[in-house]
Amino acid sequence: MVFSDLFFLFVFLPSVACCYLLAYLADTQWLSKGQLKKSFTLRNAVLVLFSLLFYAWGEPVYVLLMLICVALTYLCGRLMAWKPTTHQLGLVLGLIVNIGILSIFKYTGMLVETLNQLGLHVPDPKISLPIGISFYVFQSISYLVDVYRGDNPVQKNFGRLLLYISMFPQLIAGPIVRYGRVAEELEDRHVTQQDLAEGIQRFLMGLGKKVILANQFSELAGQFMHATVGDAPTVAGAWMGVIAFSLQIYFDFSGYSDMAIGIGRCLGFHFNENFNHPYICTSITDFWRRWHISLCSFFRDYVYIPLGGNRRHQVLNICVVWFLTGLWHGADWTFAMWGIYFALVVLFEKYFYLKKIQPHLWRPLQHVYALMIVIIGRVLFYFDDLDQVFAFYKVLFGGAIGFDFIAESGWWNNFWLWIIGIVLCLPVGEWLSKLNTRVFGKVPVLAVSAETIFKIAFGIMVIVLSVALLVGATNNAFIYTRF
């Protein structure tokens, strides 16, 4: 089940809302003095139940795997808190369990395939990849490490830990939520009218990104990327395909993050931001401060800094982190090459570009440089076969110059899609907010009214267009669910 599915929008989500509201009413008890005492037992139980149902909808068998992962993480956390002599043991066992589960189910196939290519003839166990395993394993690891460091107390209630790891808004595609971010809200949270309004608005924004933009760019990317490999059209066609894919993956993943954050907000949880207009970056270092922020901060805090960070072996640490980042995205050597590619770029920037070139470079050229590096790297992200990667690069940098008929029609037939997609990569919301304040700033009531009317009209437009596009849609999966 995905967020941009008619069943989710009109059956699952309303069912969650109704049951959660009933649980809220049942949890609320009046004391003798007339004060309101709130218990979250039923509300949490409702969220856990629907989260397990949400996950089981696609792969029922792997719900058991996730429950085993959570149970072992819980036991390792309790072991850390048992007595000082078992503190480190609990962390080590927890890391072995979680990394072991991730390695077995995600990387066994890659290892077997590599060994077979070397001529060892190892039988393939045919282990399929559970949806979202990279996300819930990383959340388990962050919980264990934060407890070990003393940043958060151990969670003694298994149900709350299960809710933290399995919560359906962020379960299968993030953002990767730190335990400390929601620890208090697992026990005590409040939903205001502002939370509901902003949560619904954020969800609709994400829905529009996914259905109205990402799905359309997905069709363009498939048309041009695969045509380039098979039919070898012009350079224009190749660039059009990889730019379409770059826009697709941004609107797809940032849209999912927006929907996850919006649903969480409506339930009283405040998840961390995951994107900050990454395509306005002026360097690759800047880009990775803006793209998939929760993953980048995870590798920084739990891998890069423990390895020594900037203090020692910095070059090696950067290479290790980016190699692991590539493998996290997929069990294939193209992803490993993607990680190495960005490691080399980051090292180039750290020791040369940021110090000697960028300060003297015209700002628009800084954007062009950063976007070119990102777009070229998307090729490694798209194909899972190195032969296809090299074939595409050959066309991208050495194909026939000019527009072919397919490329020309792909541009003009989707002219407004290209324009809207490019414009919405910019911080348009911030600009409109500033414009509204400037125009109606002297009359706050008008400013609030104008903003409210715009948000309502925007929400209605997104719902109508999204439902119309989803009826009969065949290409609606989120890219990051496969990680």
- Positions marked catalytic: 329
**Secondary structure of the chain as H, E, C letters:** CCCCCHHHHHHHHHHHHHHHHHHHHHHEEECCCCCEEECCHHHHHHHHHHHHHHHHCCCCHHHHHHHHHHHHHHHHHHHHHHCHHHHHHHHHHHHHHHHHHHHHHHHHHHHHHHHHHCCCCCCCCCCCCCCCHHHHHHHHHHHHHHHHHCCCCCCCCHHHHHHHHHCHHHCCCCCCCCHHHHCCCCCCCCCCHHHHHHHHHHHHHHHHHHHHHHHHHHHHHHHHHHHHHHHCCEHHHHHHHHHHHHHHHHHHHHHHHHHHHHHHHHCCCCCCCCCCCHHHCCCHHHHHHHCCHHHHHHHHHHHHHHHCCCCCCHHHHHHHHHHHHHHHHCCCHHHHHHHHHHHHHHHHHHHHHHHHHHHHCCHHHHHHHHHHHHHHHHHHHHCCCHHHHHHHHHHHHHCECCCCHHHHHHHHCCHHHHHHHHHCCCCHHHHHHHHHHHHHCCCHHHHHHHHHHHHHHHHHHHHHHHHHHHCCCCCCCCHHHHC
Q: How far is CA 8 from CA 11, 45, 168, 228, in A?
A: 6, 20, 12, 36
Which region, left, alpha or beta, applies to residue 192 given φ > 0 means left and ψ of -120 to 50 means alpha? beta
User: Measured between alpha carbons, how far is 248 from 210 in angstroms, rounded to an integer?
Assistant: 8
